[in-house]
Amino acid sequence: MNINESMLLSKTPLRISFAGGGSDYFNPNSDLPGKVIVSTINKYMYVCLNKKYNSEIRAAYSLTENVKNVHKLNHDIIREALKLHNIINGVEITTLADIPSSGSGLASSSALSVGLSNVIRKSKNLKISKTLLASEACKIEIEKCRKPIGMQDQYSTAFGGLNKIEFFKNKRIKVSKINIKCDRINLFKKSLLLFYTGINRKADKILHKIRKKGTQFVNHDRLHHLATNFEKELKNGDITNLGNILHEGWLLKRGLDKSVSSLSLDQIYNTALNAGALGGKILGAGGGGFFLFIANPKDHKNIKNRLKKLKFINFELTEDGSKVFEV
């Protein structure tokens, strides 16, 4: 196994997906690549790895598992990450998150996969790169755990920053930093609002339903164009058009399956629009978690007041991806 004696801690940012989410697959039926506009935020997933001096594995998350070998772990992502690196026993893994990490829509599962890959590779003195961390996290979640998800989350949390990520038919993935004039990016940041609905959901169940219906590619080309337009309007500094793009993207997502929204979630969305929001969306697969809205800063107070039953989340966009430290 040969892991480092030092205790290691990875710090991996969560992300917000603004446009194009749902096109982050290799779609063989379209000449247009999948394209998403995403940014990491200053909310983090932490993974601590420590060598144990007995033959057990201890995994502490919302539950605690003590098992004799890796194959007996119930937590699928931790289990498959350790198996991938042939760590059978003798290790302790602890995870913590700044926000509710189950069903949040902020890519907490992928941040966990990336963070695990980072600490494990560091502990074994293996090569670490952003691309390698992202691709390994995709392997853990999609190939090993069989999760019905795309690939934007792994790449956004590994790379960090405000990015355009493109997914080509030849299975090439390109991450491009979006550069925006200072006054326009500041206006954009000030226009964003994030609320926690208090509703947890299993993203896998929603995504399985969408795949079973065969609708995961139905909006591919339109989502590509929405992402293209979102990048354009970011650079133009047009908050109204950015809100319109968020709104259209939410309507497309909402139409994929009835489990994406609900009467209570629709009421939240409509309340925000009536209070001045220019557009918004539930982050992630839908069904609960976090609502993102964009609005002129002058309307923020009214929106917060109208949605005072929800938890308002202060956050900032960040530049850094996953990092690892000796503790």
> What is residue 327's predicted lDDT score, i.e. its pLDDT?
87
CA distance 245 to 222: 11
Q: Chain-centre distance of CA 311, in angstroms?
A: 20
pLDDT in tens, the chain (327 residues): 567 778 999 999 999 999 998 888 777 778 899 999 999 999 999 999 999 888 899 999 999 999 999 999 999 999 999 999 999 999 999 999 998 766 688 999 999 999 999 999 999 999 999 999 999 999 999 999 999 888 999 999 999 999 999 999 888 999 999 999 999 999 999 999 999 998 776 555 555 555 555 555 667 889 999 999 999 999 999 999 999 999 999 988 887 766 777 889 999 999 999 999 999 999 986 677 899 999 999 999 999 999 999 999 999 999 999 999 998
CA angle 131, 14, 198 (to 5 degrees): 150
Residues 6+ apart with CB under 8 A from 77: 109, 112, 113, 116, 140, 141, 145
What single-letter amino acid sits at 27?
A: N
Give bridge partners of residue 194 from the DSSP assignment.
292
> What is residue 176's predicted lDDT score, i.e. its pLDDT?
98
Structure tokens that stand for 71 in this block: 């194959």
Token pair 């999948």 is found at: 34
Contact by Cβ (8 Å): 296, 276: yes
Count of alpha carbons within 13 Å of 322, Cβ hemisphere only? 35
CA distance 164 to 156: 9
Fold annotation for 8-180: Ribosomal Protein S5; domain 2 (3.30.230)
CA distance 42 to 55: 36
Residues 6+ apart with CB under 8 A from 14: 40, 41, 43, 44, 45, 97, 98, 99, 104, 106, 107, 108, 111, 157
CA distance 133 to 309: 38
> What is residue 261's predicted lDDT score, i.e. its pLDDT?
75
Query: Which of 101, 204, 113 minimizes the C-alpha distance to 158?
Result: 113
Domain ranges of the chain: 8-180, 182-312
Q: Roughly how many angstroms between the first and final C-alpha of the chain, as a whole number?
A: 21
CATH classification number, 182-312, choose in 3.90.1300.10, 3.30.70.890, 3.40.50.2300, 3.30.565.10: 3.30.70.890
